[in-house]
Amino acid sequence: MSNRDQFASKIGFILAAAGSAIGLGAIWKFPYMAGTNGGSVFILLFILCTLVIGLPILVAEFMIGRRGKSDAVTSFKKQAPGKPWFLTGWMGFIFSAIILSFYSVVGGWILSYLIRSVSFRLSSNEKDFFANLFTDLTMNTWEVIIAQGAFLLIIILIISSGIQNGVEKASKWMMPLLFIFFVILAIRSLTLDGAMDGVKFMFVPDWSYLTGKTFLLALGQAFFSLSVGVAAMLTYASYLKKEVNLGSSALNVAWMNIGISILAGLVIFPAVFALGFTPNQGPGLVFIIIPAVFQQIPFGSIFVIFFFILLLFATITSAIAMLEIVVATAMGDKYNQRKKFAWICGIGIFIIGIPSALSFGILSDVKIFGRSIFDFADFVTSSIGMPIGALLVAIFAGYQLKRAEQMEELPVKPWIFNIWRILVRYVAPIAIIIVFIQGFRN
């Protein structure tokens, strides 16, 4: 086990774990979900659900991962020998590969937009320019495939370098830069005339939106934005030293996720309201609205470069975690063959993702249960794989691990430990089942 890589520092681990959690979910999906579900009420429920539901499961994944000191499959085998719990690890392996297969498509879109912004080709006075640009890009067969491959190449090179030299180093400079960029963009957005309407939308509650549906959507957003359920955090924690406090690390990750989500709202909503757009634009909020918004701002062509750099960073940090799960599981104890497995797994995921990349173009007529290939891959992971995975993690940590084993990994005050135990054994599983059922209804 001495040949196995480790995180060199607690802060390196926290930033890597936060990077896994803070991806397109926090920056792209959170503003979109808040924009279509009443703003402030959704945000309040999201924060509550993150701390009460997502956090206990995050601690559970950390606990299982550090105790196992191995890939997800082996970790479950070690802690529950002779029982089928190891299948939870294989689920994480499969669903992480599927997630990265379509996630890398979006990463490719971001690369394409970044190249256009850097070359100052992301501006026009035509009304529908940005909507048409997004459509043309996603229908361009060779551009989407090449961009997807380029994005995955970046991830493969980082993973090939290992935990300390690859994942940890990348996270240590990407995450602080991400925060800095967001603060700059938020300040720029908040100084626009009429920006306060966006601030009110985010922080002055409209209680008519306090409904069961809003609660379920906020719960789902909190749950998925923390990356729990696909063994990402479990795998990262397997590289963690014994002296690192799991509880405080998980709390830091949760707060960083909330902070970036709120900052994303402060970047987008004041600008959207100030310039007469509406907040319920879905994916267009990033790829159509934001370039249009920045075009109407002084030095907007510079700020839009910052925005897509930031979005690329966030996407890369999440993608690193997804590929690390796949590589760690495939590699097993062959630690000296990390580079080989990184390339094999990365190329395999690239091939699997090609149909998703083409599902807006030449494969747009191909439907699986009424969904495009891209949407089906998203649905099968977000609405099926992640809830089942997180439910199994909660049950394993709450019931399979003995109380003494739990306390050994979570040495906190007895009342804090008891709260965590109640949440992970009862509250979180029930909430996950509700989200799971809601996913099928949608």
pLDDT band at residue 177, thresholds of 50, 70 and 90? Answer: confident
Does any domain span residue 5?
A: no
Does any domain span residue 4?
A: no
| Residue 393, domain CATH | 1.20.1740
Does any domain span residue 226?
A: yes
pTM of the prediction? 0.85
Lowest mean pLDDT among 45-49, 239-243, 420-424: 239-243
Does any domain span residue 2?
A: no
Where on the phi/psi map is residue 332: left (φ > 0), alpha (ψ -120 to 50), or beta? left
Structural domain range at position 166: 10-441
Q: List, for residues 254-297, the tens digit of each pLDDT value.
A: 888 898 889 889 988 998 888 777 777 666 677 887 788 778 77
Does any domain span residue 303?
A: yes
Angle between helices 72-79 and 86-118 (to 10 degrees): 160
Does any domain span residue 277?
A: yes
Provide the pLDDT for residue 176. 78
> Average pLDDT, whole number, for the chain?
85
Does any domain span residue 241?
A: yes
Does any domain span residue 3?
A: no
**Is the model more confident about 11 or about 193?**
193
Lowest mean pLDDT among 245-249, 360-364, 379-383, 393-397: 379-383
User: Could you say which DSSP state residue 6 is in?
Assistant: -
Number of domains in the chain: 1
**Is the model more confident about 335 or about 191?**
191
Across 7-16, average pLDDT: 67
Residue 189's φ and ψ, nearest 5 degrees, are: -65, -40
Q: List, for residues 25-80, the tens digit of each pLDDT value.
A: 787 778 888 888 888 999 999 999 899 889 999 999 999 999 988 888 999 999 99
Provide the pLDDT for residue 425. 96
**Is the model more confident about 14 or about 324?**
324
Provide the pLDDT for residue 5. 59
Q: Could you tell me the sign of the dihedral formed by the alpha carbons of 35, 285, 29, 266, in that order?
A: negative
Across 354-381, average pLDDT: 90
Q: Which residues pair with 371 in a beta bridge?
A: 368
**Is the model more confident about 171 or about 394?**
394
Other residues' Cβ atoms within 10 Å of the Cβ of residue 1: 7
Q: Which residues pair with 75 in a beta bridge?
A: none
pLDDT at 1 over 60: no
